[in-house]
Structure formats: C-alpha cells, structure tokens
C-alpha cells in the first residue's frame, strides 16, 4: 500500500499540513519497503489560484491507495479526485505523520 500525507515537513515527525491544495510537501510511505518519498509541492503552493486541482492532478500521477490530510480537499479538488481509486482520511492536522499513520492503522481517523 502507498500512503500519501500532506505535510509541512519531510520527516516522519513532521506535522500534517491542514491544507490539501497548498500543502508544503506530499510525503508517501511505501508500506512494503517502509521507505518515505518526499514530493516538494512549493510550485503549486505559489500559484495564485487553482492550487486544489493542481495537487489533485499530482495525486493522479502518484496514485497512492490512501491519502491522509487535514481539512481535506475543497469542492473542486474533491470532484477531480472522484475517479481516482484513493481513500481519503481527514482531520489529522494536529498530528505528526507518525501519529496520523498510527491513528489510521487503528481506525480512528475519519474517512471522507
């Protein structure tokens, strides 16, 4: 399974970014290899408009099985993500990546 996180930093103890579109980084955990892959999202973050759909497009390229984020994608981005076979878990923005992953594993994160 590939798990994507919106994150303000690049490590396992970074906070989850509450933003989807303008997240600082997208961090991907490959559960099989336990490797973290970091995608810098600063180019999208610096777009004046359309950040939600641009990050949604990135999700299509990365194709994670699960996304763990904060407030969750807005309406337009959520519509764009509908055809992607990806589960979205939200309200993790006061947690670190590690805490959010553990919460996801024990089923305490809210799924959209």
Partner 1 sequence: MKEVVILSGKGGTGKTSITGAFAVLAGQQAIIADCDVDAANMHLLLAPDFAEKSDFYSGELAVIDSNKCTQCGICAYKCRFGAFSLSNGTYVLDPLSCEGCGYCQITCPEGAISLVPRKAGQVFVSTTKVGSTMVHAKLDIGAENSGKLVAKVKNSAQELAKLKHKELVVVDGSPGIGCPVVSSLAGASYVVLVTEPTVSGLHDLERIAGVIQKFRIPMGCIINKFDINPEMSNQISHFISSNGIDYLASIPFDPSFTKAMAEAKTIVETQSPAKLIIEEVWATLTKKLIN
Chain residues that interact with partner 1, rule: CB under 8 A: 18-19, 21-22, 45-52, 70-72, 74-75, 78, 90-91, 93, 110
Of 36 and 78, which has the nearer Cβ to partner 1? 78
Residue labelled with tokens 């336990």: 34
Strand arrangement of the beta sheet that strand 35-40 belongs to: 35-40, 25-30, 2-7, 66-68, 87-90, 110-111
CB of 52 to partner 1, least distance (A): 8
CB of 10 to partner 1, least distance (A): 17
Of 22 and 37, which has the nearer Cβ to partner 1? 22
Instruction: Yes or no: say if 90 and 112 are a contact pair by the CB < 8 Å rule.
Output: yes
Of 37 and 40, which has the nearer Cβ to partner 1? 40
Distance from C-alpha of 41 to C-alpha of 58, rounded to nearest angstrom: 9
């Amino acid at each position: 399974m590939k798990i994507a996180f919106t994150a303000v930093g690049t490590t396992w103890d970074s906070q989850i970014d509450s933003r989807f579109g303008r997240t600082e980084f997208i961090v991907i955990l490959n559960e099989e290899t336990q490797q973290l892959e970091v995608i810098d999202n600063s180019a999208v973050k610096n777009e004046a408009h359309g950040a939600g759909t641009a990050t949604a497009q990135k999700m299509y390229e990365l194709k994670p099985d699960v996304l763990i984020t904060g407030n969750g994608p807005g309406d337009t981005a959520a519509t764009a993500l509908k055809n992607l076979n990806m589960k979205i878990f939200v309200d993790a923005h006061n947690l670190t990546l590690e805490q959010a992953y553990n919460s996801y594993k024990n089923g305490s994160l809210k799924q959209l």
